[in-house]
Amino acid sequence: MDMPKVNIILSAYNGEKYIEEQLQSLFAQEYPNIDIYVRDDGSTDRTVEILEKYDRQGKIFLIRGENIGFCASFFSLLELCGEGTYWSFCDQDDIWEKDKIKRAVAHLERHTEKEKVPLLYYSLSRMVDENGNDLGIQEPPKGSLCFRRALTGTFGVGFSMVINRKLRNMMLQCDPKAVHSHDWLAGAVALGMGHVIVDKKICAQYRRLDTSVTRISLSRRIQWFLEMLKNEGDVKERNIEFSRCFYNRLPKEKRRLMNLFNRETYSFRLALQKALYPGRWRPSLSSELAMRILMMVGKV
């Protein structure tokens, strides 16, 4: 019996410092049926030079592109890689354990509905700083694996996710400019209409860099809150896009939740319902307070 094919998709941008170490950890994967697709998102450093070396060796498929942002870049790769069973998101500055993909495939293959519903496998990672010092374990926050929480946030990081064909095809129905984040969309679709499988094993080292897109600090949270107050935020836009694509496919109870978030015009009644909702929206108290304020003023 043939082993399912896994496409590892990596969007690179000015990653010369760490990308080679990450690629070596991909080449060392114990699972044999892997193709690695790397799209350069308009790098200005030596990233392309490094990638071209491995492209010539036949170890990766390199796609050279202009700068369109990480979400659109990942969508471009998802669409390009049409052949396969599973798709694994990958960042440029982490280090994967050798059994990461092997474990993902084993968990996904055991699921009885692996071809019928959107499935997302998620493994844990150990956070490290630029010098490799331990910063703790990255895992989904308590209570975050529910559709309600997906409407205001992402439960995890993209490189820990492996998705099936059903989820990949559903993601491609959305406009990446409207959803803003490929990992948020993958999680929202799986929690709304499928299943999330969490593996409690640590399968990667996750570098938390000052330049990382996914790095969350207090100053970044404050900056995000102020930007949301000033402009129409990404949470509102991505929920409207999600509803446009999937509303009729959601179960009835989840459609009721979606109805709180899929209006483009401000409704004081809905704003009050969200701001006073009895269940938690966010994992931390500070972000919970910020989110409820944004709901009340119509930014979410």
What pLDDT, in 10s, does the model give residues 19-40?
A: 999 999 999 999 999 999 999 9
Provide the pLDDT confidence category of residue 115 given band limits of 50, 70 and 90: confident
Give φ, ψ of 183 to 5 degrees.
-75, -35
Range 200-228 average pLDDT: 71
List CB contacts of 254: < 8 A, sequence separation 6 or more.
147, 192
Can you give the pLDDT at residue 25? Answer: 98
Asked if the structure places residue 199 within a domain, the reply is yes
Between 243 and 299, the more confident residue is 243
What is the model's pLDDT at position 214?
46
With 60 as the cut, is the pLDDT of residue 127 above it? Answer: yes
Distance CA 37, CA 43 (A): 16
Same domain, 152 and 37: yes
On whether both 89 and 115 belong to a single domain, the answer is yes
pLDDT class of 228 with cuts at 50, 70, 90: low
pLDDT at res. 212: 47
In CATH, what number is assigned to the domain containing residue 48?
3.90.550.10
Residues facing 125 on adjacent strands: 138
Write out the residue range of the structural domain in which residue 265 sits. Answer: 218-296
AA letter at 181: S
pLDDT per residue as tens digits for the range 54-84? 999 999 999 999 999 999 999 999 999 999 9
Q: Which of 283, 178, 285 is nearest to 239 (CA)?
A: 178
Q: How many independent structural domains does the chain possess?
A: 2
The reply to whether 42 and 117 lie within a common domain is yes
pTM for the full model? 0.92
Is 211 a residue whose pLDDT tops 70?
A: no
* Stretch among 14-28, 215-229, 255-269, 284-298 having the lowest mean pLDDT: 215-229
CA atoms of 228 and 262, how far apart (whole Å): 17
147 and 249 in a common domain: no
Band of pLDDT at residue 219, cut at 50, 70 and 90? low
